[in-house]
Amino acid sequence: MPRTDAVLADPRLASAAERLGRSVVKDAVTRAQQRAREGEIRPEEVADEAVAALPPHAASLRTVINATGVLIHTNLGRASLSPAAIAATAAAAGPADVEFDLVTGARARRGRGALDALAAAVPDAEGVHVVNNNAAALVLAATVLAAGREIVISRGELVEIGDGFRIPDLLVSTGARLREVGTTNRTSYDDYAAAVGPETGCVLKVHPSNFRIDGFTGSVEVPELTGLGVPVVVDIGSGLLTREPLLPDEPDAATVLRQGAHLVTASGDKLLGGPQAGLLLGRGDLVERCRRHPLARALRVDKLTLAALEATLRGPTPPVRQALHADPAVLGDRAAVLAGKLAAAGVDARAVPSEATVGGGGAPGVTLPSAAVSLPERLAMPLRTGEPPVVGRVEGGRLLLDLRAVPADRDDDVMRAILQVSR
């Protein structure tokens, strides 16, 4: 049996130790030695086995090809960053002028580049602030405006936002009291007017972005609420900064602010297409109160998020927006080419129409015409666990790899992955 130090001296493993850390490489060697002791491999194969077992990166997260047809897949990390945002994140990874003025040598406003970019993207906002996610933005606004007071909210907007987290629980945790008005399906202006009083900290409207109620329904729009004499906070959720013609029912920050909302909260990693972040936009004095509140320090974002957010706002169209506007005809051509090549190699593959969705709690009920490669269902698990992992969806006993969220330059990777597991 080769000694551990002798195996670790192998140039391939020595190089890997610098990239992955010595403990990771040593664990791989130890496992290979154990396999040799048990007779699964020969002792002279220990180094080769250890090299083969090494992970590609020091972190356990793996890059995944999202072929589910869900553009913003929460379980797959939501929005994919643009190349510009990735480059900006790498540039900010070392020492960076995150809150330092290189000209004067003095302290500067933290993340001023990202904040200036956000203000330029939403000129209707007098003030802007960034925290670590949309729930944090809502918690900060509720704490500043209504801790120890009441938040007036429609019963139809007391939603669950995922993984068991519920808006009412989130709001009550700030020390605010909820004043529920209306019913699940209908709330009127008079309901709000009757509830607003001296104890009201704000009126809150929450866009029910992950579900839809049809039929006998009624709600109150933002312009009607602004005359109640208290701040109106609107959680638009998905992070649209301006109108999107493909999603006419999805609220956007610019429109809601022009309608009179005092504060708007939104996500950065959904339809905006950036990193996880919570955006606070609105009246200057209210945003400043949020920025100066002690809780804001606990909710602030790091330099990598600020860099990625600025690059998303200033840079080229991010992948989420590209996928949203993908041409169905082009997707069909790509699926046909892939299926043709796979069929020629003996794989049971064919191109089929598909329907994609926005995901991430955005645009419920909206489907986007797409195209997919249909494969035997048995390939689903091998593709998920292959390299690179390819995640699709199973429908009608077939595995569908929907191409709307797959960049065109990854088609060859998808084909190689399928060929590898089909063998």
Long-range CB contact pairs, 82-86, < 8 A, 24+: 82/273, 82/311, 82/312, 82/315, 82/316, 82/317, 82/318, 82/319, 83/316, 84/311, 84/312, 84/314, 84/315, 84/316, 85/274, 85/275, 85/307, 85/308, 85/309, 85/311, 85/312, 85/315, 85/318, 86/308
Evaluate whether residue 59 is within a structural domain: no
Q: Tell me, what's the pLDDT at 335?
A: 98
Count of CA atoms in the C-beta half-sphere (13 A) of 198: 0
To which residue do tokens 């120890």 refer? Answer: 148
Low-confidence ranges of the chain (pLDDT < 70): 209-211
Cβ-in-10-Å burial (0-12, 13-18, 19+) of 365 comes to exposed
| Total count of domains within the chain | 3
Q: Tell me, what's the pLDDT at 215?
A: 75
| pTM metric for this prediction | 0.91
Q: Tell me, what's the pLDDT at 362?
A: 80
Q: Tell me, what's the pLDDT at 56?
A: 85
CB 82 within 8 A of CB 316: yes
Q: 328 with 312, same domain?
A: no
Q: Tell me, what's the pLDDT at 86?
A: 97
Q: 204 with 287, same domain?
A: yes
Evaluate whether residue 364 is within a structural domain: yes
Please identify, among 296, 316, 336, the residue that sits at the C-terminal boundary of a domain.
316
pLDDT in tens, 144-170: 999 999 999 999 988 887 777 888 999
Q: Tell me, what's the pLDDT at 97?
A: 96
Domain that holds residue 212: 83-316
Evaluate whether residue 60 is within a structural domain: no
Report how far residue 141's alpha carbon sits from residue 278's, in angstroms, rounded to the nearest whole number: 11
Angle separating helix axes 46-53 and 22-37, nearest 10 degrees = 130
Evaluate whether residue 246 is within a structural domain: yes
Q: Which residues are CB-neighbours of 276 under 8 A, at least 6 positions away?
A: 78, 132, 133, 267, 268, 269, 305
Report how far residue 289's alpha carbon sits from residue 149's, in angstroms, rounded to the nearest whole number: 17
Q: 309 with 326, same domain?
A: no
